[in-house]
Structure 1
């Protein structure tokens, strides 16, 4: 009965809950653009608008949210873990003796990189399932109406644990540097837009949205070619095996479609990143403030 009050009384508990709300806001706000990005990366020709129109005409607006159940359930938890882990690691990497001062930018980047590596273990299977669901009714997959649980059972039956973690290595290669850039950009931009806010936490909603959006854009730009390769590797099934690894995927993709294939869908990804991460950080910061202020009110009432 006393678990939640005690959990929320700790800084790590508040970071966990606030991160969860941020993850939920991010998934809901950006999922249609994420589905569009996956289809562009996997080899669909045509403009973003034509692909989007084709998806809606064949499957209705619901097709834009196909497969959202898995990431919505997991990303909420994953994002909670990410923000909690980042808070711990950024503090652990900081040499400052004062707990009141915010972590240095170097500590922020190192904490973000460590967080990216750890969260890949959870994120890789989730993204694999999401990609398989998003590619239903395409030339990569002829399956239709398959639920997330059915996808998991099919992968486990045909490929085992190795299949569930297909693409783990390249997910780590993507997430370690991108998370370092992600958190560094957010902390740097919020301080530039509202000097002193890293210490007093009093920035405006616009500062949160813009800083979070720019952090998302920067993290995607720095790792986008790796993400294209990851999508193509995870879209494969044992019956449609085309690439034998990361290097083979890069060579074959560039040979068949040119170097620009490594940047296909970047516009969609950047647009989505700005919207999603603005929502993520705004929800995170507001939830954190609410929990912190609520704790202060409870303390004052007790006194």
Structure 2
């Protein structure tokens, strides 16, 4: 693969650094909406607005950030790895293209699929801990109402002690099934949208901040719409623990029981919240990522004028 010397010489891990900053920006900007999404998916009713009012009234506004330490602590490394792996794979799938030219859209999509599958190894345990914390203190609907954890370390220790390694990776298969195609849509939509909004920017890297925000937001929306029913199933499976009655016995069983008991609409419950969050979060992710790369590569300052 002839791209390796050129790519490594010009990159030097800068995508890793940029991805880390992008991940932190995404988590901080969208975590309250993520908490509402998780609660909508695990409940039988309630709009995002009514759930927001209920959470703030009964648990306080800080409850919207409960469990954020787990993804925030890992997100720098996780997102950094995602963007570095994506950068390498997108070139590996299109090694005939010069290092100075952007990879093809087909390579972008394939690299996204590979990146999504690989990042699930790290993401699955983190999301498991996050979901357990986000669903804590919910009275009768809590799967294990007697347990009260003060943070992600407490949850992780409890899962390891009672369920072992298998418990830590509960939901891993559904996470891979969700993230592999979703990341393909994610990166392809971002690259396609930014080029349409600012022709030539994929090669020149001269798009405006507004273009980054919009293209990143559209990429996030496309990825969530493509995988949302699987995300609902993943949330319900990872919310289970050995200390509570087992409701679902796998992906297919969870899918069948959820639809039978609550209708097909259950697979799209919380989609509005997820899409709103995805646009905000991924706009921030890509804007922070691209801005960091420009600073590291010394390609000049980011333009903020309207270019479309």
TM-score range, shorter chain: over 0.9
Cα shift at 1:68 = 0.4
Given that 1:18 and 1:284 are in contact with CA atoms closer than 8 Å, whether structure 2 keeps it comes out as yes
Pick one of 225, 228, 233 that aligns with 2:232: 228
Given that 1:90 and 1:108 are in contact with CA atoms closer than 8 Å, whether structure 2 keeps it comes out as yes
**What SS is found at the alignment partner of 1:244?**
coil
5+ residue gaps in structure 1? Answer: 1-7, 296-303
Alignment partner, residue 257 of structure 1:
262
Cα shift at 1:12 = 4.2
2:206 maps to 1:202 = yes
Alignment partner, residue 146 of structure 1:
150
Cα displacement string for residues 113-169 of structure 1 (whole angstroms, at most 9, x for unaligned residues): 000000000000000000000000121242334321111111011110000000000
Aligned residues: 288
Residues 72 and 37 of structure 1: is their aligned pair in 2 closer, same or farther, counting only changes over 3 Å? same
2:190 maps to 1:161 = no
CA distance in 1, matches of 2:219, 2:274: 13
Pick one of 272, 279, 288 that aligns with 1:283: 288
Normalised to the residue count of structure 2, the TM-score between the two structures is 0.91
Pick one of 184, 189, 214 that aligns with 1:185: 189
CA distance in 2, matches of 1:294, 1:152: 42
Given that 2:78 and 2:119 are in contact with CA atoms closer than 8 Å, whether structure 1 keeps it comes out as yes
Runs (4+) of structure 1 moved beyond 3 Å? none
Alignment partner, residue 272 of structure 2:
267
Normalised to the residue count of structure 1, the TM-score between the two structures is 0.93
CA distance in 2, matches of 1:107, 1:294: 25
Cα shift at 1:232 = 0.2
Alignment partner, residue 36 of structure 1:
36
Pick one of 171, 191, 205 that aligns with 2:175: 171
Of Structure 1 and Structure 2, the greater helix share is in 1
* 278-287 or 142-151: bigger deviation: 142-151
Alignment partner, residue 136 of structure 2:
136
Given that 2:97 and 2:103 are in contact with CA atoms closer than 8 Å, whether structure 1 keeps it comes out as no
Alignment partner, residue 241 of structure 1:
246
* 161-170 or 55-64: bigger deviation: 55-64
Residues 12 and 120 of structure 1: is their aligned pair in 2 closer, same or farther, counting only changes over 3 Å? farther
